[in-house]
Amino acid sequence: MPKSHHTDTNYESAVEIAPGIFWVGFYDAPSGLHCNPYLIIDEDEAVVIDGGSRPDFATVMLKILQTGLFPRQIKALIYQHYDPDLCGSAPNFEDAIGHDDLQIISASENLMFIRHYAVSSPLISLSKLKFEYQFSSGRKLQFITTPYSHSAGSFMTFDPHSGVLFTSDLFGSYGVSWQLYLQLAAECIECQNLSQCPRRLPNCPVNDILNFHRKIMTSTRALGHSLEQIAKTPFKILAPQHGSVINDKEIIEYVSKLLAALKDVGIDGLLGESERFDDGN
C-alpha cells in the first residue's frame, strides 16, 4: 500500500487519489470542517460522490472541469447521507449537467430529505439498484450500509476496481490543521497518551478524528457495527467526506483500533453508563 507522503499537494487543482478518482474539494483554511467531494471517471462516464454545499459549487465544478471532463458526462450524483454540506449543490449540478437521465442515488431514508433540496432528477434508492451502480463498461460500485453512522440512511461506496472506499463521515475529522492525506510520524502511531502529546505538537490529528466520532456518530454500537463493515471490505484507500484521505496501512490499523475502543460515542457519551434505560425489573 502506498505511503502518504504528499506534502507538496496542490490544493488549487483536482487531486487524483487513485487512477481515475479525483478529490475535487478545496482547502478552507478558516474552517475546521473540510469537505471532500469526489469524482470517479470511467472511460467517457463519471459519477460524483457527496458533491458539496451550494456555496462550494463553483470551486468543485472548476476542479471537475480541470480533469478534462464535460459536465454532461456525469451520469449520477451519489449522496451518502442527506446533510447540506453534501447535497446543497445538487440543483447546481443538475443545471450544469443538463440532461434528463441524470440519477440522484441514495438510501431511501435519505431521499425523503434530499427531495427538499428542490431537485428535479429521478431519485433512485440503493435497494432499487440492488446496492450497486454499474458503468457502461461493466465496472461496478458497491454500496455498504452503515446505519446511524451518523444518519439512519448512511452508507459507504466501494470501488473494487481501485480499492477506494468512500466512507462518508466514518474516519472523518474536525480540526483547523488539515492535509488532504493523513500523515503521522512513527512515534505518533505508537503513542499511548493522546491527551498530552510527547512531541508537544499544537494539534493532534488523531484526537481530531476521535472527537469527531464522539460528537457526530449516534452511539458506540452504531460505530462498532460500521467498523465491522469496513473490516469486511478489501479496500486500499479510505476516502472520508470530512478530514483526510488515509492510504497508509499502519495508520489505518492504528486509527481503526482507537475508534473500535471508543465507549463515549454519541448518546452513550451524553448519558453515560449510569443513565441507561431501566424498565424497573
Task: List per-block mean pLDDT (blocks of 10 residues) for the chain, which spans 281 residues.
Answer: 47 93 84 84 97 94 96 98 95 95 97 96 97 98 97 97 97 85 82 69 83 95 97 97 94 94 91 52 40
Distance CA 224, CA 37 (A): 25
Task: Specify the CATH number of the domain 15-271.
Answer: 3.60.15.10
pLDDT in tens, 6-25: 445 778 899 999 999 999 99
Tell me which long-range contacts 112-119 makes (C-beta under 8 A, separation of at least 24). 113/82, 114/79, 114/82, 114/87, 114/90, 117/84, 117/87, 117/88, 117/90, 117/91, 118/91, 119/90, 119/91, 119/94
Question: Which residue ranges make up each domain of the chain?
Answer: 15-271
Residue 35: predicted pLDDT: 87
Quick one: how far is CA 213 from the chain centroid? 13
Distance CA 32, CA 30 (A): 7
Q: Helices 57-66 and 90-97 meet at what angle, rounded to 10?
A: 40
Distance CA 4, CA 247 (A): 6
Residue 247: predicted pLDDT: 95
Taking the chain, what is the end-to-end CA distance rounded to the nearest angstrom? Answer: 53
pLDDT in tens, 34-91: 789 999 999 999 999 999 999 999 999 999 999 999 999 999 999 999 999 999 999 9
